[in-house]
Structure 1
Amino acid sequence: MFDIGFWEFALIGVIALIVVGPERMPAIARKAGHYVGKAKKFIAKIQEDIGDEFEADKIKEHLSLKDKDAGIVEIFEETKNTLNEIKQGTNNKKS
């Protein structure tokens, strides 16, 4: 999480033991563990929310492109029909 190795963690533990004393160390370690757990859950929740938002944006973009594709297909069909009508009109005039 914070990219702390074993030796860094051990050094922090020794300094904490010297500063707070052996009597209060277990209670402080429990509280620290509790807060680290809360921080991990909080970070995981934020990552999940960001991932959900990213997925929602991708879906919206995909739907937008799909709508544009549908519009292009509709224009293509209209153009095709118009060309067929023109072709039939010129064939009728030749006959």
Structure 2
Amino acid sequence: MFDMGILEIAVILVITLLVVGPERMPEVARKAGQMVAKARNFINSVKDDSNLRDTVRELQQAVDLKEEKKNIEHIRKDLMTGFDDIKDQVNFDELQRPFDSKSVAGPPSDAQREQASKQLESTNDVPTESSPPESAETTASTLRQDKTARE
């Protein structure tokens, strides 16, 4: 620790023995050991505190919330301007739904059933490729009507 060799330590012990005396030497050695232990603990705690401070400082720099908030705000602004550019390029009035409410298939009305039965009778129960495909429900209801009409 202080770059002391065995010879220097022996000289210090001899001088201490002459000054203190042999009766009080164990007591002084015990006190000196306790003081050295306290000094080591103090030095280690200061090192740990400095390491802890360095770690806390690094974490604060890594997680700088204000900087992150600025970055997120910048990204949000970029996204919004990009969306505004797309909005300017696309005319939403020209966009239409792929179907309107009238073309959604619901249960067939009586007029639709009658028209389907006439089409079926005119083609002799053989659909042609030119006729539009009918829904299964419409075909089933038409066949039921034909059966009741024949009876």
Q: TM-score normalized by structure 2?
A: 0.50
* Aligned equivalent of 1:42: 42
Residue aligning to 1:20? 20
User: Which gives a bigger RCO, structure 1 or 2 (Cα 8 Å, sep 6+)?
Assistant: 1
- State TM-score, norm by structure 1: 0.72
Question: Which residue of structure 2 lines up, in the alignment, with residue 86 of structure 1?
Answer: 85
Q: How many residues matched? A: 92
RMSD in angstroms over aligned alpha carbons? 2.4
> Matched residues in 2 for 1:89 and 1:40: separation?
72
- 1:5 equivalenced with 2:13 (yes/no): no
Letter in 1 for 2:80: N
> What amino acid maps onto 1:86 in structure 2?
D
Give 1:33's aligned residue: 33
Going by fraction, where is helix more abundant, 1 or 2? Answer: 1
Moved more, 48-57 or 80-89: 80-89
User: How far is the alpha carbon of 1:90 from its aligned partner?
Assistant: 4.3
Moved >3 Å (runs of 4+): 1-5
In 1, distance between residues paired with 2:11 and 2:61? 50
Gapped regions of structure 1 (runs ≥ 5): none
> Equivalent pairs: percent with the same residue?
35
